[in-house]
A and B are shown apart, each in its own frame.
Chain A
Amino acid sequence: MKYFNYDIDEDGIATLTFDTPKSAVNVLCFAALYELRELITNFETDKSIKALFIESAKEDIFIAGADIKEIKAFKDEAEIIAKLREGQEIFNRLENLPFETVAVIDGACLGGGLELALACDYRIATNEAHTSLGLVEVSLGIIPGLGGTQRLPLLVGFRKALELIVGSKRLKGDKALKLGLVDASVPAGYLAFKKEEYSKAILSGTLEAQVAKKRQYIKWYERFSPLRTLIATMARKEVMKKTAGHYPAALKTIDVLEETLEMSLEEGLKVEIEVFAPLATSEVSKNLIELFFTSEALKKETFSKAKAKPINTSAVIGVGTMGSGIAWVLAQKEIPVRLGARQMSSIAKATAKMMKSFERLQKRGRLTSREIGLKMDRVAYTTDMQGLSAVDIVIEAVSEAAEVKRQVFEDLEAKVSKEAIIATNTSSLNISSLLENVKHPERFVGMHFFNPVEMMPLVEVIAGEKTSDETLATVVSLAKKLGKTPIKVKECAGFLVNRTLLPYLNEAARMFEEGANIEGIDKVVKDFGLPMGPFTLADEVGLDIGEKVSDILYEAYGERMKPSPILAQLVEKGWLGKKTGQGFYLHQGRKKLLNTEMENLQSKKENLDEQTILDRSILIMVNEAAKCLEEKVVEKAAYLDMAMVMGTGFPAFRGGLLRYADSLGIAEVVKRLSLLESRYGERFAPAKSLLDMAEKGESFYSTSNARLS
């Protein structure tokens, strides 16, 4: 046997241990499933077995899920249907074994892994942090396909099952116990005792009655069809509100659960497969799966060969919006952080903001006030840069002005140890130019966090000309430790994300100038799938900041980034967006109203068609992104796509900006850009690489620079 080890003791208690060879994880590939089928065939006739425990030999992982590579490789619906039938059949036979079966879950138990556990008679989980259980298929654009939609409601009820599958929720052991998903949740150290207890209870035939009390089952009212319909309708509404229907798997999950609740297992499994197959071959699922692979690749990506230094203590200088956000992320991950600011009032404000972020987690039950207290214990502060001699890294987040930053760097070098790394959280300044006077440029590096730092997963890591590999490796590793996704980008004005995004905001302003309607444009872009339209975003960011970044980019890239005069006009009026209550919109508390005075700035009214709005908005970004790839600002198309998804909320179901371009076809992209160029000017002139690809019939993901490894 390759994947499983089998053992039986004198009492007839058998243990099956899943141990994928040469791998740190267990994934449910078909080879493993076939081996399991073989074992089950033997078990079915083996009279000596009284009970079977299924365990994992991997640390922190029970079964991480089905093998997504296999799902990706399926040729067509017919193949998917055939394969899934096989899989479902294996789980059915597992469920029907003539003795009782127990899944012992100490670690991740996700997707297909949980479906296997659901096919067992009982489940024991540990209540350790590394244990999480969930059917997370919807997050990959598919639904559970190995009986998850059928067996989960039987344990937790219809409404809860909907909530868990639609939301791709992951549960800790204790919560899973509360919902009835598992029958026990114990510390890992007591797992052996629990197994012994279960073995005895199975042998004496008392286990079933013992656990039955705790399970939730399908509620009587959920079996009452009108109520079930009501629950499903409400769930659909919720999904539509959150995703605008861009993620069909969530809606399909609701359909399947509602339709099959009263069916036999056999009938229900058929429906499950019928819905699964078209989803798995859909564009959306393929895009989500590709992004999943990119994120897996980025977890392993180090961007340099050097070894990262350990970061045990840190400091953040400048504790405004960005600085306090960075400090909170450090504190949350229990890296001691020293706040530096000129005024105690800024520091006190920063702690208040940090506490708010902590309390948000507390409200969701993820932290206790004791834990928050202990995290805040590691937060110290200084107004005169004292006490920095022991820090391993200082992240500077003072105001975005070259002179201020230069001064801070100079002061810092005098205060920190020789080994300390100094990272700067600049969003647009050229790092090398800031380092002309520093003594050790090799320890300086850019770390561009996105606002709000607490939520945004992306960190652009920028190596200056002299940044050492060790420095780079260290901040990449730190960013990962902070739960962020670091992507290395080459030094250039605006780096990757802002450089790509700004032409889009600028184009929106130009459309407005030409007489287009603000809300109309915002709606088109939002319907496309971005979290908000360009005018809403500009107001959120602040028009003064927009103007500042625009100027920097204009200086660096020339005509194609020439700022629309509208921006300057608004800044002059003091309409800076949300923070002043007035920008493209009027902001009253949480409400956003149309700023009717804006019309006075338009000399004419002209409505653009949706396609033009969309192409001017999205293709101008595609064009700039193509240039970034040409200049190797980022190494791979897949990384660029991930950066845009994480940094700007570019819709994941579209797979990213470049994948969207690929889906149109590069020839089509070039055609549309050329048309826009003729109508609106040179800024739309297709990038050289686009022209090349169009000529050769290539796409971003077909060219060699796009591949992940």
Chain B
Amino acid sequence: MSTEKTNNKKPKNEKIPIKKTKKQKERIAIVTALRTPMARAGGKFAKMQADQLGARLFRELMLRSPVSFEEVDEVIIGNVAQPIHAANIARVIALRAGFPEATPSLTVHRNCASGMESITTAASRIHSGEGKIYVCGGVESMSNIPLVYSASMTALFTKLSRSKTVLDKVQTLLGFRPSFLKPIVGLMSGLTDPVSGLLMGNTAEVLAQDFGISREEQDAFALASHEKAAKAKESGRFAKESMALVYDERAGKYLDFDDGIRESQTLEKLGKLRPFFDRKNGTVTAGNSSQITDAAAGVVLMSESEAQKRKLEPLGYLTDYAYEGLEPKRMGLGPVFATEKLFRQTGFCMKDMQIVEINEAFAAQVIACERAFASKEFAKTHFAKKEAVGAIDPEILNVNGGSIALGHPVGMTGTRLVLTVLHELRERGLQRGLATLCIGGGQGAALLLEVE
């Protein structure tokens, strides 16, 4: 075990010995990985439905992969909003992308971790021997989450369709009230936790209060996210993991960068924004929250031995993973719970991690996680442990920014984090990283990733 502080300044050739983990499962090789650019919702990709976005990404992924469409055992795709016109969207995407009709497809939903769930579901199927090669990922078109009629309006429609005579119909229509027309905004409902009744942003407000995180700290974090992302974009770092996408085939328009990154973001601009969730006393604003975005990401998976047999050079490996539940009201701390479980499972500790990605659902939420990770008190209360789970070196946390700059297409982000960690490890010549995120409804997910 390495006791030194590990960060990007570490010489590239110095390898850290692989530690024996408790459960010696075979590593899952990520053979090919790709994502679309991330486009602000209501913008560039707004006219593309999630299935089309997914179809484009997964076809390109497969054409770039050494694996052929026919060899894939199953397509597993995470998606949160699940468009009405494409039930089991994974199946729709698989067929549109060109997978054989005989290839089964499954849509998975673990809210914000859906893009990880698809990968871990496949991993567990590979481990159980159910199949060898899986195509996984996540897709989300937050632009296309619909407005929904209220229950009273729906009831009126139903009654109307059953009314036989004109008189019946008139009578039914007399029951109409203008308030029936107030739509339910699907996006807002989706982002509301039905148990605590809190919008996701309000759960971040809870954490800001718990940990005493000021508006200024949150804004500074948000600014850093944009700055780091802008730098990564400038250096061509993101282009390595994403494809250029023709999003309007009719007009001949394409996007080849992530358009949520604000190069000109400043603390001053961030400071002017009104709190969105708690308008009177809050600290969480649209500026220090993740953006609402459309995107898709995908990976081709197989066991490490299968990759060796095929003489492939995988991008990297999934070594282990953990999901853990917690209080829905404080769902933002999910990464701490899941990571603690992952470390217990594997015997690794935070100091073994050379790159850490915590999804930036909210600046307050990531800062809260950082503090909880470093806190003995927190560890004692929640995990009955004497030592903290492990402080994260800020130098290795979200090194290219995160969802505050890039956006958080809920079903896709989980896969994106895997891409980010693996590409960054390769870029820096490092071996091991952590991708973790909080999950609406009160869960956390943590993935241990390695590269050779």
Chain A contacts to B: CB under 8 angstroms = 336, 338, 344-345, 347-356, 359, 373-374, 376-378, 380-383, 386-387, 389-390
Q: A336-B98, A338-B63 are in contact. Are A349 and B249 (CB under 8 A)?
A: no
Number of chain B residues close to chain A: CB under 8 A:
21
Indicate with 1 or 0, residue by residue over B50-61, a CB within 8 angstroms of chain A CB atoms. Answer: 001001100110
- Contacting residues of chain B (250-288) with chain A, CB-CB under 8 angstroms: 250-254, 256
* B326 lies within 8 A of chain A by Cβ: no
- B59 and chain A: residue at smallest CB distance: A380
* B233 lies within 8 A of chain A by Cβ: no
Q: A377-B55, A377-B96, A386-B64 are in contact. Are A348 and B256 (CB under 8 A)?
A: no
Q: How far is the CA of A344 from the CA of B239 in the complex (A)?
A: 13
Q: A354-B249, A387-B63 are in contact. Are A377 and B254 (CB under 8 A)?
A: no
* B97 lies within 8 A of chain A by Cβ: yes
Closest Cβ of chain A: how far from B158's Cβ, in Å? Answer: 28
Closest Cβ of chain B: how far from A40's Cβ, in Å? Answer: 49
Q: A347-B254, A351-B249, A352-B249 are in contact. Are A380 and B55 (CB under 8 A)?
A: no
- B249 and chain A: residue at smallest CB distance: A351
- A347 and chain B: residue at smallest CB distance: B246
A-B residue pairs, 3 tightest by C-beta: A352-B252, A387-B63, A348-B252
Residues of B near A382 (CB, < 8 A) are 63
- Contacting residues of chain B (74-133) with chain A, CB-CB under 8 angstroms: 96-98
Residue in A355, A356, A381, A382 with the greatest tally of chain B CB atoms within 10 Å: A381
**Are the C-beta atoms of A348 and B96 separated by less than 8 Å?**
no
Q: A344-B256, A373-B52 are in contact. Are A351 and B246 (CB under 8 A)?
A: yes
Residues of A near B60 (CB, < 8 A) are 380, 387
Residues of A near B252 (CB, < 8 A) are 348-353
* B68 lies within 8 A of chain A by Cβ: yes
Closest Cβ of chain B: how far from A340's Cβ, in Å? Answer: 12
* B244 lies within 8 A of chain A by Cβ: yes
**Are the C-beta atoms of B63 and A374 separated by less than 8 Å?**
no
Residues of A near B59 (CB, < 8 A) are 377-378, 380
List 22 A-B residue pairs with CB atoms under 8 Å apart, sorted by A's residue number.
A338-B63, A344-B246, A344-B254, A347-B246, A348-B246, A348-B253, A348-B254, A352-B250, A352-B252, A355-B249, A356-B250, A377-B52, A377-B59, A377-B98, A378-B59, A378-B98, A380-B59, A386-B64, A387-B60, A387-B63, A390-B63, A390-B68
Taking A350-B252, A377-B55 as known contacts, 9 extra A-B pairs with beta carbons closer than 8 A to each other, sorted by chain A number, are A344-B254, A344-B256, A345-B254, A348-B246, A374-B96, A377-B59, A377-B98, A378-B98, A387-B64
**Are the C-beta atoms of A376 and B98 separated by less than 8 Å?**
no
Closest Cβ of chain B: how far from A362's Cβ, in Å? Answer: 11
Residues of B near A336 (CB, < 8 A) are 98
Closest Cβ of chain B: how far from A191's Cβ, in Å? Answer: 26
Closest Cβ of chain B: how far from A250's Cβ, in Å? Answer: 37
Residues of A near B250 (CB, < 8 A) are 352, 355-356, 359
Closest Cβ of chain A: how far from B141's Cβ, in Å? Answer: 15
**Are the C-beta atoms of A377 and B249 separated by less than 8 Å?**
no
Q: How far is the CA of A526 from the CA of B56 in the complex (A)?
A: 47
Residues of B near A389 (CB, < 8 A) are 66
Residues of B near A347 (CB, < 8 A) are 246, 254
Q: A354-B249, A355-B250 are in contact. Are A383 and B98 (CB under 8 A)?
A: no
Q: How far is the CA of A381 from the CA of B56 in the complex (A)?
A: 10
**Are the C-beta atoms of B244 and A380 separated by less than 8 Å?**
no
- A353 and chain B: residue at smallest CB distance: B252
Q: How far is the CA of A115 from the CA of B244 in the complex (A)?
A: 56
- A388 and chain B: residue at smallest CB distance: B63
- B52 and chain A: residue at smallest CB distance: A373
- A354 and chain B: residue at smallest CB distance: B249
Residues of B near A338 (CB, < 8 A) are 63
- B68 and chain A: residue at smallest CB distance: A390
Q: How far is the CA of A373 from the CA of B85 in the complex (A)?
A: 14
- B254 and chain A: residue at smallest CB distance: A348
Residues of A near B254 (CB, < 8 A) are 344-345, 347-348
Closest Cβ of chain A: how far from B66's Cβ, in Å? Answer: 8
Q: A352-B250, A354-B249 are in contact. Are A383 and B63 (CB under 8 A)?
A: no
Q: How far is the CA of A347 from the CA of B247 in the complex (A)?
A: 12
Q: How far is the CA of A347 from the CA of B98 in the complex (A)?
A: 20
Residues of A near B64 (CB, < 8 A) are 386-387
**Are the C-beta atoms of A344 and B244 separated by less than 8 Å?**
yes
Partner of B63, one of A345, A350, A353, A380: A380
**Are the C-beta atoms of A376 and B63 separated by less than 8 Å?**
no
Closest Cβ of chain B: how far from A578's Cβ, in Å? Answer: 21
Residues of A near B251 (CB, < 8 A) are 352
Q: A338-B63, A390-B63, A390-B68 are in contact. Are A376 and B249 (CB under 8 A)?
A: yes
Q: How far is the CA of A349 from the CA of B250 in the complex (A)?
A: 9
**Are the C-beta atoms of A383 and B244 separated by less than 8 Å?**
yes
Q: How far is the CA of A338 from the CA of B63 in the complex (A)?
A: 9
**Are the C-beta atoms of B256 and A377 separated by less than 8 Å?**
no
Residues of A near B96 (CB, < 8 A) are 373-374, 377
Residues of A near B55 (CB, < 8 A) are 377
Q: How far is the CA of A383 from the CA of B242 in the complex (A)?
A: 13
Indicate with 1 or 0, residue by residue over B179-200, a CB within 8 angstroms of chain A CB atoms. Answer: 0000000000000000000000
Q: How far is the CA of A356 from the CA of B256 in the complex (A)?
A: 23
Q: How far is the CA of A249 from the CA of B198 in the complex (A)?
A: 78
Closest Cβ of chain A: how far from B67's Cβ, in Å? Answer: 10
Q: How far is the CA of A353 from the CA of B56 in the complex (A)?
A: 18
Residue in B52, B66, B68, B246 with the greatest tally of chain A CB atoms within 10 Å: B246
Residue in B56, B66, B97, B250 with the greatest tally of chain A CB atoms within 10 Å: B250
Q: How far is the CA of A359 from the CA of B251 in the complex (A)?
A: 12
Q: How far is the CA of A380 from the CA of B252 in the complex (A)?
A: 14
Q: How far is the CA of A353 from the CA of B60 in the complex (A)?
A: 21
Q: How far is the CA of A345 from the CA of B63 in the complex (A)?
A: 21
**Are the C-beta atoms of A377 and B246 separated by less than 8 Å?**
no
Residues of A near B98 (CB, < 8 A) are 336, 377-378
Closest Cβ of chain B: how far from A546's Cβ, in Å? Answer: 28
Closest Cβ of chain A: how far from B173's Cβ, in Å? Answer: 34
- Contacting residues of chain B (268-323) with chain A, CB-CB under 8 angstroms: none
Residues of B near A390 (CB, < 8 A) are 63, 68
Q: How far is the CA of A349 from the CA of B252 in the complex (A)?
A: 5
- A359 and chain B: residue at smallest CB distance: B250
Closest Cβ of chain A: how far from B242's Cβ, in Å? Answer: 12
- B96 and chain A: residue at smallest CB distance: A377
Residues of B near A378 (CB, < 8 A) are 59, 98
**Are the C-beta atoms of A377 and B244 separated by less than 8 Å?**
no
**Are the C-beta atoms of B249 and A381 separated by less than 8 Å?**
no
Q: How far is the CA of A351 from the CA of B66 in the complex (A)?
A: 26
Q: A347-B246, A351-B249, A355-B249 are in contact. Are A377 and B63 (CB under 8 A)?
A: no
Residues of B near A356 (CB, < 8 A) are 250
Closest Cβ of chain A: how far from B75's Cβ, in Å? Answer: 15
Q: How far is the CA of A378 from the CA of B55 in the complex (A)?
A: 9
Closest Cβ of chain A: how far from B258's Cβ, in Å? Answer: 15
Partner of A381, one of B52, B97, B246: B246
